[in-house]
A and B are shown apart, each in its own frame.
Chain A
Amino acid sequence: MRRAVAVAIKEFKNLVRDRYILLSVILAPFLSLIVIGSIYSISMRQSLEEAAKVSASLPEDAVVVLEDANDSLARGIASMLNANIASSISDALEEYSVVIVFHRGFSELVESSRRGNISILVKTSKPWSVIYMMRVESLTSLIEGVVRVYLSKQYNISVELLEKPIVFNVKAYVKGGELDSIEATVLVMIMLAVGIAILILGMITLQVGAISIGMEREARTAEILLALPANRWEIVAGKTAGVIIVSMLAFLSFIAGGLTYIYLILPTTSIEAGGASSIDMVIQAIKPLNTQIASIILALTLHIVNSTLVGILTGVLFAGDIRGALTAGSYIGLALMAPLIPDISGFTLPATLEVVFTLTPYYPPYKLIESIVIGDYSKTVIYIIVIVAYSILLIFTSSKLMSGERLVYGIAMRRPKPLT
């Protein structure tokens, strides 16, 4: 163990002082949430502006039809549009040229994080004919903007925080209705950030892991390392620990980028509602979520561990060839992250597919977060066991493959032949 620590210290110093590695570890994670968050803010602002324009330019003879007169959300939006309200579509179409229909169950759909059904009917001639009828999916900027403004007044929170609950599966993370809408909103934002973190940190860590093996061969230090009085697993574990410490810098940088977005960029781009600032809302909402945030940090750390080990294995498989390992690593990383996409997107996977995905290294850390957040602790235990087993398996495999033949002569075991 002492020897693994010595390798870890050496590895950390050697990697962290490499300016290119440091740049990729610090800069990319820092910028990721700032860039994505800024795009999010710009997109949201445009939506609101468009919604305001539409609301202001609704024709005199526009009418809103509420299929369910008791639907408070639909009624709220109708009042914001300053349009007349009719009780039936057929009556409305007799009298008005633009008919906006909020279909039955609209609120339930929105509150369960799916898109509510709204139809826009535009009459062009008599007898009336519909030439333009679309569901809300194709008019998201119009309707969702309006919905957000309404919700911001209804719940007295910043409008920025309300875009994603409409389109993402909030309820999946709010088992038993434990969280109110603000908490759920923030949680969804955090889960989105987690998705980005898994992608960015996973790729960077995998690359640094692969590079750490490649650098041994490139610097011609591999032979000395392999001849030292240490077991191969101690070398692999030590290198892994060194890379993990470097990768944690990426993690910290990512968090710093997120905080920069929330504290510095969000206030300059947001439209406040109800007198409360976005930051106050975020902080207020995060407070009850400390347990979940701690679990997210833990799981992302485990993700970094797994990703490092995959990177080191990739480096060993490619016999320390940095270019080969990086090329393969990017494909391997994408392939391993693919199973996360349906989950992050809110799809429910068939049980068999979930079991298969559990056998891939990046899936269990993400599911671990989810299991803690929704309070399914039996799955939490299972995922922790899977993650630990994965780590041991990857260290074992890398140790077995890290032979002198592989690292000295390369993947094709080419040895220079003399002239004969």
Chain B
Amino acid sequence: MCSEVVLSVRGLVKRFGGFTAVNSVSFDVFAGEVFCIVGPNGAGKTTILRIIAKVIEPDSGEVLAFNGLVRWGSIEYRRLISYLPEDAGVYRNITGLDYLRFIASMYFDDSSSIEDSVRRGVELSGLGDRVRDMAGSYSKGMRRRLLLASTLMVNPRIAILDEPTAGLDVVYSIDMRRVIVDYVRSTGGSVIMSSHNMLEVSYVCSRVALINRGVIVGLGAPGELLDKYNAINLEEVFIKVAGGG
């Protein structure tokens, strides 16, 4: 089912001064899967996602997109991906609708595609009439839903989601996970997301990369990892592979 490699990460290294945040990280992402990067705070998850989104540059290593057919970081590449950073905010003084239109305008050239995308965004956000209010008046959950909607409404081949449910209550979190899973099922697109919520990972992810101190310490489907490490949940797997217990 997941045969086509859409993204190939090869030997990423990122240093900040003397500190190595990401150390020789490599993995593949397949079409139609939710690939999760899991690890504790400061493990390097966000740095990896920023590099894939080409927001920052690695010290070494590369990302091959669609078997090298699309140059990493090019405008074409950026059209095929969409990135939701951790703790991302919204422009306080524009409406949710204007924000969705702004994002859509960056991805599409013709007005009908832009309007279709905005319609999709409004639906995905679930904000109803509040989408016409200034984004500065939204609660954290509403802002996050708007941002997730803006990320997925452009139908990216690869959606990069950094801790998409961080800081949200249970209801919002479940709703966000449902939107992510529905998106992958309905479009065949791929999602790369980070999380340190193991329950979320079990529910959403097709495959998991466990990362600790910038190094991938385990990689596979959640079930495979449980079997391999003879653990009852992913938390236990992580503790075992990270040497914490």
Tell me the A residues contacting B by CB distance below 8 Å: 2-3, 6-7, 9-10, 13-18, 215, 219-221, 223-224, 226-231, 403-405, 408-409, 413, 415-419
Contact = CB atoms under 8 A, between A and B. Distances in A.
Given A6-B105, A230-B75, A415-B21, A223 B91 contact: no
Contact of B42 (A2, A413, A419): A419
A237 to B, nearest CB: 14
A238 B81 CA distance: 22
Contacts of B106: 3, 6-7, 228-230
A229 B79 contact: yes
B38 to A, nearest CB: 15
A104 to B, nearest CB: 66
B16 A415 contact: yes
Contact of B75 (A16, A224, A229, A405): A229
A221 B88 CA distance: 6
A405 B87 contact: no
A25 to B, nearest CB: 14
Interface residues of B, number: 43
B98 A10 contact: yes
B105 A223 contact: no
A10 B91 contact: yes
Given A229-B78, A405-B56, A415-B19, A220 B105 contact: no
Contacts of A219: 89-92
Contacts of B213: 418
8 contacts: A18-B93, A221-B88, A223-B83, A227-B82, A230-B106, A413-B17, A418-B41, A418-B43
B107 interface: yes
B40 interface: yes
B102 A227 contact: no
Nearest to B91: A14
A223 B94 contact: no
Contacts of A223: 50, 53, 55, 83, 85, 88
Nearest to A10: B102
Contacts of A2: 105, 109
A234 B26 CA distance: 32
B92 A13 contact: no
Contacts of B53: 223, 227
Contact of B102 (A6, A408, A409): A6
B238 to A, nearest CB: 15
A228 B40 contact: no
A220 B42 contact: no
A227 B56 contact: no
B40 A408 contact: no
Contact of A13 (B17, B47, B94): B94
B130 interface: no
B120 interface: no
B103 A220 contact: no
Contact of A14 (B19, B57, B76, B94): B94
Interface of B: 16-17, 19, 21, 40-43, 47, 50, 53-57, 75-76, 78-79, 81-85, 87-94, 98-99, 102-103, 105-107, 109, 134, 147, 213
A14 B55 contact: no
A13, A228, A230, A403: which has the most chain B beta carbons within 10 Å?
A228
B42 A418 contact: yes
A221 B89 CA distance: 5
B11 to A, nearest CB: 20
A228 B103 contact: yes
Contacts of B105: 2-3, 6
Contacts of B40: 418
A224 B83 contact: yes
Given A18-B93, A229-B106, A416-B42, A224 B16 contact: no
Given A3-B105, A223-B83, 10 more contacts: A14-B93, A15-B93, A17-B94, A221-B90, A223-B55, A224-B83, A227-B85, A229-B75, A229-B76, A418-B40
A403 B51 CA distance: 12
Given A14-B94, A223-B50, A229-B75, A403 B56 contact: yes
Nearest to B43: A418
A17 B93 contact: yes
Nearest to B99: A10
A231 B78 CA distance: 10
A172 B183 CA distance: 70
**List of 9 A-B pairs having minimum Cβ-Cβ separation, nearest first:** A418-B42, A220-B89, A17-B93, A229-B78, A404-B55, A6-B105, A227-B83, A223-B85, A404-B56
Contacts of A16: 93
Contacts of A226: 55
Contact of A417 (B42, B76, B88, B102): B42
A15 B91 CA distance: 10
Nearest to A5: B105
Given A6-B106, A228-B103, A418-B41, A405 B57 contact: yes
